[in-house]
Amino acid sequence: MRTYRWGILGLGNIARKFAADLAHVPGASLHAVASRSEDKAQAFAAEFGAAHAVGSYEALTAVPDLDVVYIATPHSEHHAHALLCLRAGIAVLCEKPFTVNAIQAQELVAVAQARGVFLMEAFWTRYFPAVAHALELLQAGAIGEVKHLVADFGGFMPYEPLGRLFNPNLAGGSLLDIGVYPLFLSQLFLGQPTAVEAISVAAGTGVDLSCAMSLAYANGATASLASTLAAPLDNQCVLYGTRGQLRLLGPMYAPHGVRVQLPGQAAQEFSYPPPGDGYHYEAAHVQQCLAQGLLESPLLPLSSSLTLMRLLDAVRQRIGLRYPGEGGG
């Protein structure tokens, strides 16, 4: 098996978790790390055993023999940082939300395709075995026809107006940071809605503190989704079908199992505990794609990332949330 040499761009919270989980991926090596601070890059490289540490993101693209870069910067920066790597011909795994809006996402896709470079959204949930099994069960009709989906993601986050979660300049707010997960699962399990309604409560900075979404589908299904930075929620995903219920076990963003409950019967449970936090699934999938010479993931094609960004745009239009630079006041 060949070795894939990874780079990480932006060395914050998630970069640390990703670097730790790379140890669970056969054939993965942390080759280079890039920070805006040389000292931070050096310390990170020493801790996680990276061969190269650079003190600017531009310098990362000059590191020799890099196979793929994981982009772990705030939402507002994904577009520029992904473009930086794609234009240098380096494959990209970019954190969620893919970009701030669909226009930015379209540009990434266009550049990746024009250059023939691999690009994938780091929507880690998609690559969990529990999610694959849930899809199989639903397709096999385990709970009949799905008629309703409930999913939410919430936590209490201290209010820091300049921090990543609340700062409009970093495209903060509950929807883009965590509401994107329920929305992603609704798209995965139910497809594209025919109607989207949403309501939000703003934080002091103007970004959404909480967002509640209602969606309807051509087949008669509906979905109730929520996100908040104000209180811990159940972080659940439950699908209600004509014959029973299917629930992702554990937090719906990183599920470790599936439960199927049919009326009058014992629940069936399937368990898939990850060895680490579960970031290794997406990294291993990227390596499989690269090994096959693919330019996008068959599990999360770029068209899905684009439709998800359009859904986020539609929700933001309903709640009247625009970020600096998007225009329209």
Contact (CB, 8 A) for 221 and 147? yes
Q: Binding ligand NAP by CB under 6 A: which of 48, 124, 128, 281?
A: 124
Nearer Cβ to ligand NAP (125/245):
125
The catalytic site residues sit at: 96
Q: Between 30 and 146, whose beta carbon lies closer to ligand NAP?
A: 30
CA nearest to 61, candidates 34, 79, 37, 93: 34
Note whether 14 binds ligand NAP by CB under 6 A.
Answer: yes
Query: Given the rule CB under 6 A, which of 12-20, 140-148, 292-300, 321-329 is the region that contacts ligand NAP?
Result: 12-20
Beta bridge partners of 201: 210
Token pair listed for 262: 């049919």
Buried b (16+ CB within 10 A) or exposed e, 40-76: bbbebbeebebebbbeebeebbebeebbbbbbbbbbb
Q: Should residue 164 be labelled a site residue for ligand NAP when binding is judged by CB under 6 A?
A: yes
Does 227 sit near ligand NAP (CB under 6 A)?
Answer: no
* DSSP-derived secondary structure for 80-141: HHHHHHHHTT-EEEEESSSSSSHHHHHHHHHHHHHHT--EEEE-GGGG-HHHHHHHHHHHTT
10 Å Cβ neighbour count for 3? 13
- Smaller CB separation from ligand NAP, 5 or 81: 81
Establish if 243 lies at the interface with ligand NAP (CB under 6 A). no
Residue 95: CB minimum distance to ligand NAP, A = 4
Asked if residue 177 binds ligand NAP (CB under 6 A), the reply is yes
The residue among 5 and 164 lying less far from ligand NAP, judged by its C-beta, is: 164
Q: Are 43 and 11 in contact (CB under 8 A)?
A: no
221 vs 226 by CB, closer to ligand NAP: 226
Residue from 11, 45, 60, 238 that binds ligand NAP (CB under 6 A)?
Answer: 11
Q: Does 95 bind ligand NAP (CB under 6 A)?
A: yes
Tell me which residues in 35-94 interact with ligand NAP (CB under 6 A).
Answer: 35-37, 40, 72-75, 77
* 53 neighbors 315 (Cβ within 8 angstroms): no
Cβ–Cβ < 8 Å for 302, 112: yes
Kindly list the residues in this chain that would bind ligand NAP in the complex (CB under 6 A).
Answer: 10-15, 35-37, 40, 72-75, 77, 95-96, 124, 164, 170, 177
